[in-house]
Structure 1
Amino acid sequence: MGINKLKILVLFIFYSFSLVSCQNKKMEEKYNWSGTISAPQEYPMEIYSGGIIANDFTYPFDAIWGTQNTGWGNEGSKMNVATKKMEIPHQLEFTWYSLVEEKFYTGKWNLDKIKIEQLFKEGFIDTDTGKKQTYTTFKIGLAPKGKIVLWINAPGVQKEIGSFQAHDTIITKAQAYENAQYMFENDYAKERLKSDFLMTSEVKNRLSTSGYPDPSIYENFRKKYSWKPVVELPSGFKIKKIFFMACNGEYDTYAENQNKKAIPYYLSIVISDVAGKELGANLFFTKDEKYYEENVLKGNNVLPTDFDLTDMYKTFTSFSQTEPVDIIIKVNPENKSADVSLKQKENSIQLKNFISKIY
């Protein structure tokens, strides 16, 4: 009789734990999210296979995604999925072909699910509407030398949530699946890079005059500094909002309490005059005079292909990462001009490589 009671007690405890476990699984929050790919304009990447993996869903990638080079941090193609809400992913796996290097890279990495879930739950406040929003897209950044970055994205905000190292691998035509056979045609990479539709005139100009950026530049772009914008305006004018896009692929509305940030290549300052009329002052840090017409006017605030050659980038990288940096911006709304300088301690450098648009 004592043994039977013990068995009943053990079974009761077992089923209790099972019930709690099932309830916890049911209670795991789900979100609407999708995936996309980013790659530098000057280093096109061919997609072979991959997936953003959650317990209840895998967002897949294969050769149908083709060549991706929309710009570092920029969004590539997107595929619709039937599943409306999914758990937070816990793993990323990816294999791709770097056309310039003519190498395949592959890897599988565990994601910080707790950190990602916290970011999704906390969300952010949309500065235009004042409403709470959350993230909607996982963006995979493919860089040379097998570097891979993962961002989470929503309109107006993008944050890095992981950086990984893939290893090179060999895939033969005999091993490749049917839809990827085209990658193994003779001189496929060389011929693809010659395509007039693959690279813009801006990219071609960069490559012909200065060559390819150092493959490690995308890792260097991840370095962060304690910078803040210091905007000098005429009397009666006020700052309403500052938005930035950084060379590491992150972008957000500037706030005083933010942590260190990567070097910005774009600053958008919304100001108001004495009568309350809003004006915009946009700064694009590039040497390319055609950048605004060829990119921004087409709705594409992409990282300039010459950003690593600008005095903005070179000056920042000559500064200490531990000391604060002021980006001093003098805006003259009347003649629609702006001056920009960088200052760290007593060291002040006037910048020349930028385009200003005030409207």
Structure 2
Amino acid sequence: MSGQDTSEVGHGHGHGHGHGHSRSRTVAGLLSRVGHAIRPHSHDTADKTDQALEASSKGMRVLAVSFAALMATALVQSVIVAVSGSIALLGDTLHNFADALTALPLAIAFSLGRRAATRRFTYGYGRAEDLAGIVIVLLIAASAALAGYEAVVRLMHPQDVEALGWVAAAGVIGFLGNEAVARYRIKVGREIGSAALVADGLHARTDGFTSLAVLLGAGGAALGFPIADPIVGLAITAAICFVLRDAAREIYHRLMDAVDPRLVEQAESILSGVPGVKGVGSVRLRWIGHALRAEVDIQVSDRLSLVEAHAVAVAAEHRLIHDLPRLTAATVHADPDGSDGIDHHAVLATHR
């Protein structure tokens, strides 16, 4: 997880905070800030760390429950597949098995994410969720390939579907099981800020509707069109491919450190409202598991001392951690904002 003590990731370089207050008020405020700087946000860090651990615990619970529910659904469907020979139902069953198995890499990722950062993994192990996402994408792709293959084989070698009533019932069971899991995953995923869990919930919801498509295959077979079953199987394969596309895009965004631009705008707004911040420079956010980290640049008055500027940087970090959802740590770099025209980063120009 990325809930390390914010004092370890630092507050950047302090360079000042200036207002037109009287000297006595400035000194009083400075003493207050210095006292806070000496003990930087211990309450915030502890709260955020506790929230992160609780988030992982909730994630583990939802994965265990959803795994059991989907495995039970898929096992019931597999029995009916063996009796009926329905290719549409086979495709849905394979997808439900794959969806149940996605809980395993996510569970491993949540477990790893609770480990403390080390000198090698200095940001912790939260990115294990992204690796789990890759495994999930591969499982979805495998289920699509197998379902499509079976549907094509059945089109080339048609055969009657037996126990149509049971096939229809299995489709309904698949829908109910997936919808229950989808609601649970999405609810908890949004509570703990896990995009992977929310995406997996949306995946389960899509699976529920593909289960209903099995009813179409059973209905077509009942009306004397046995070819309807493999055709619906191909349709289910296409639906799985759409889910695969969305899941792959989600994981790609996480691997590339993409965030919702509205989060950047919110961070900029928060920083602009901090007393002593005269301007906001670059704002960089990244997800590490289901927690956010930030690296930001602010401008402060060039007339302030190092201690005063550091106090402004501390206040900016403090406000960010409080007001930006899922942010567990921030590095704040303060630059002097003077009118002397001096480029304080000139020595770095050739390195940027």
Question: TM-score normalized by structure 1?
Answer: 0.21
Q: Which has the higher strand share?
A: 1
Question: TM-score normalized by structure 2?
Answer: 0.22
Q: Which has the higher helix share?
A: 2
Larger Rg: 2
